Amino acid sequence: MMQKYLNPKKNLTLCLVMFKYFSLILLLISVFIFSCKKDGDDISPSISISSPFNNQQLNGFDTLIVRGTITDNKNIKYVSVVLRNQNNINVLPTVSFEPNSPSFNLNTAYFFNDIHMPSGEYHFKISASDGENITNKFITIYYGEVAKERTGVFFYDNNGSSTSIYSLTGTNATLFKTLSGDFIGGAANSFNQQLLSVGSLSGNLTAVDVTFGDVLWEINNSTSSTPFFMHRFFNSKEIYVSLRNGEIRAYDGNGNPKFLALAFPNFYGEEGLIHTNLFFSEQKAIGNNDRRLVLYWTASGALVQQISLFEDVLGLYSLNTNKIVLLANDNSTGNAKIQIYDIQANAKSTPFSLAASPIDDVEEISSRVYLIAQNGNLVLVNANSFSTLPYLTGVNATKIKYDVFANELYVIDGNTITVYDFSSKTIKGTYSHTSNVLDLVFLFNK
């Protein structure tokens, strides 16, 4: 068999032909790309803003006129204006336009109408696009939030079959809403502008719109021979209720479930506190006076730890990151006690003694300072200095409520509400109702 060999001259000729062929293709591609680039648009829109100016101060409910001129060598397809926080998150609605012209005079009102928007540094992002190129302009502003102020005082009574909510203005009360069923406590959700009422044997958990008095949502009471709801407390935007079956639930301003934890078997929740990322629950046994302080993760409702209590807690308050304050009545003696609970050590201590009589109610006045109603007197308890100080003597109180913004103290004694200027202790007004006042809440603008 003869072996064939390729001709080197033919190989060289073939390579030269292929090289010329590929060179021609590359040349044509380069011409095409260059031509396309030459026909494209590499000029971005120009943005000039006269309002707002950089570092301008704006305040709640201001209306800002955003003014400026946007130009381009081609038609401007899209313009947008939005306010963003320091995390580059939009905080107010985007205003957008489609000019479809080479020049656009921006002149639009921008409303600072979010009453919950906090003070701080923000920036406007103004964007313009011609369909191929985008220009962004950023302008820093400083915003002062809407001041928090009280917009209403409401109180509750009950005749056994229905709960009535009244609006109190000065020394006059006006019926606001009547709901079916009994009553264990109320709350005001200022963020969502709602009044809340919680029953026990027959009353529902009901949210009422403060503007029109409409029932916005309800969690129905499972009517039986035993109470359904056992206790309630309000935190920021959510109402927490404990059920006799051991569930502790929280609902947001739309009635959506936000939290679920389970008490120890045959226990139910009473007082509660949200502290850092923990939910503290005082729990009482059904049928006896055993009590526990139980901690859960707020994110999951999972149990963290627990400790036995020998007191009936009337108030739980944050002291510092690792400690909380318990104001309570001793199970054995009925006398008032203040205790400090150490989260890390899971242990309680008694830093000082209170007068030997029960606490009827308690309110936090300032950081680590509490006002207690005790034996016909009002007493200041100071956890900073480990001391007590008489505030008012000879003042009976079934409930006390303090409004830090108006610096007013509301003292409820049966059917009578007395309002004091807290600093001077002078009486600002007294209202006598037709029946016992069971609870009182303050509504704020936000």
Q: Note the pTM of the prediction, 2 decimals.
A: 0.86
Residue-level pLDDT at 27: 52
Residue-level pLDDT at 12: 46
Contact status, residue 183 vs residue 199, Cβ threshold 8 Å: yes
Residue-level pLDDT at 224: 82
Q: Which two tokens stand for residue 363?
A: 């309110």
- Rounded CA-CA distance 437/441 in Å is 11
Residue-level pLDDT at 223: 77
| pLDDT tens readout for residues 403-435 | 999 999 999 999 999 999 999 999 999 999 999
Q: Which two tokens stand for residue 311?
A: 């007191």
Strands (E), 91-204: 95-97, 101-111, 120-129, 134-144, 150-158, 162-169, 172-180, 185-189, 194-198
Query: Cα angle at 31 between 28 and 37, to 5 degrees?
Result: 140
Contact status, residue 120 vs residue 142, Cβ threshold 8 Å: yes
Residue by residue, pLDDT tens for the chain (446 residues) are 334 444 444 444 444 445 555 555 555 555 444 444 445 788 999 999 999 999 999 999 999 999 999 999 999 999 999 999 999 999 999 999 999 999 999 999 999 999 999 999 999 999 999 999 999 999 999 999 999 999 999 999 999 999 999 999 999 999 999 999 999 999 999 999 999 999 999 999 999 999 999 999 999 999 788 999 999 999 989 999 999 999 999 999 999 999 999 999 999 999 999 999 999 999 999 999 999 999 999 999 999 999 999 999 999 999 999 999 999 999 999 999 999 999 999 999 999 999 999 999 999 999 999 999 999 999 999 999 999 999 999 999 999 999 999 999 999 999 999 999 999 999 999 999 999 999 999 999 99
Closest by CA to 341, choosing from 363, 362, 311, is 311
Judged on CB neighbours under 10 Å (0-12, 13-18, 19+), 238 is: buried
The 3-state DSSP class for residue 26 equals helix
- Sorted by where each begins, the domain ranges of the chain are 46-144
- Rounded CA-CA distance 281/337 in Å is 18
Closest by CA to 374, choosing from 421, 336, 332, 339, is 336
Contact status, residue 420 vs residue 403, Cβ threshold 8 Å: no
Which residues, including other chains, have CB under 8 Å from residue 371's CB and lie 6 or more apart? 362, 363, 364, 365, 378, 379, 380, 381, 391, 400, 402, 409
Residue-level pLDDT at 139: 98
| Domain at 46-144: CATH code | 2.60.40.1930
Q: Which two tokens stand for residue 132?
A: 């191929």
Q: Which two tokens stand for residue 139?
A: 């302008």
User: Computed over its alpha carbons, how large is the radius of gyration of the chain?
Assistant: 34
Residue-level pLDDT at 25: 56
